[in-house]
Amino acid sequence: MPTFDDPTTDATEASEALRGLAHASRTFTDPADTYRVLGDVLYGVRSLRQVLDQLATTHLTYRVRAHDDAGDQAAGATSALAAADELHQAATILDGVHDRVDAAMSHSGRIAWYDAPEQAAPERAPSRWISVVFLEGEEADRVLDVIARRGTDAAIEHLAGHDYGEDTTRDALENGYVYDTVPEGALDRTATRDVYTLTYSPFLGHVNLLREYDAVPDPALLGIDTSEPVTRHAERAPVTRASRREAAQTEPDWFAGSRRTTPGAGRGLSR
């Protein structure tokens, strides 16, 4: 608390208060508080100008008691006069500081501070895509039949069984089946579920299941059996597109239904 009669004590407290203000004003939670702080700073500038003037007057008043370290009074008086002059100039400079702070406070008083706008969630970085399985001809026809009868979700769920995780990713990287965007032709249709995107063309007779390169599929959503340890993939022979087709020929026909003798026969333009 200020003493109002002990300049050394009050100077120490003023110095500490300014240090505290310099630290605290690094961040304002509410920008409207700047107006109040400016008012206090402006009053402080006025008081500081008065202090400088009074320090200068004191040097002039007591110059007859001023000596240098060698005891020379004339030299001490000269230094007292010089100090007083510098202090008066500093006080004059503070007149300009006062005017600038006063003008800043006037502008600040015209500001109506609104709440910060809600920040939009950062956009997800674009992902690369890998091809999990590409089918054409008769194999694609069976998938297209399922799409026509049961929808794209059923087709994606089944084709996701061709996704062997890291093995599939490695296979795609080795064979160049990695894309910056989903590859699709002018006649292709697309469907998405979880991290998979299916492109297919009833007109050209092909289907392509793609997965986001760095994404992990949701086993529960896609109905994938996760009861076996993931390490089972390490025991599997390297997976290639040729091996997938050989396996498909020996597996039960999950897409049991009509078999086409002519690819694309019976397809119309409706989905």
What digits encode the pLDDT tens for the residues 90-133? Answer: 999 999 999 999 999 999 999 999 887 877 766 655 578 889 99
Instruction: List the one residue out of 136, 126, 133, 207 whose CA is nearest residue 175.
Output: 133
How far is 224 from 218, CA to CA, in rounded Å? Answer: 8
3-state secondary structure 96-136: HHHHHHHHHHHHHCCCCCCCCCCCCCCCCCCCCEEEEEEEE
Collapsing DSSP states into helix, strand and coil, what is residue 89?
Answer: helix
Report whether pLDDT(41) > 60: yes
Residues 6+ apart with CB under 8 A from 153: 191, 193
Digit-coded pLDDT (tens) for 135-187:
988 899 999 999 999 999 989 988 988 888 888 888 888 888 888 888 888 88
Domain borders along the chain are: 9-108, 129-250
Give the model's pLDDT for residue 29.
87
Mean pLDDT of 70-93: 95
pTM as predicted = 0.45
Cβ(131)–Cβ(241) below 8 Å: no
- What are φ and ψ of residue 161, in 5° steps? -65, -15
Greatest mean pLDDT among 97-106, 170-179, 196-205, 236-245 lies in 97-106
How far is 206 from 188, CA to CA, in rounded Å? Answer: 9
Structure tokens at 30: 């509410």
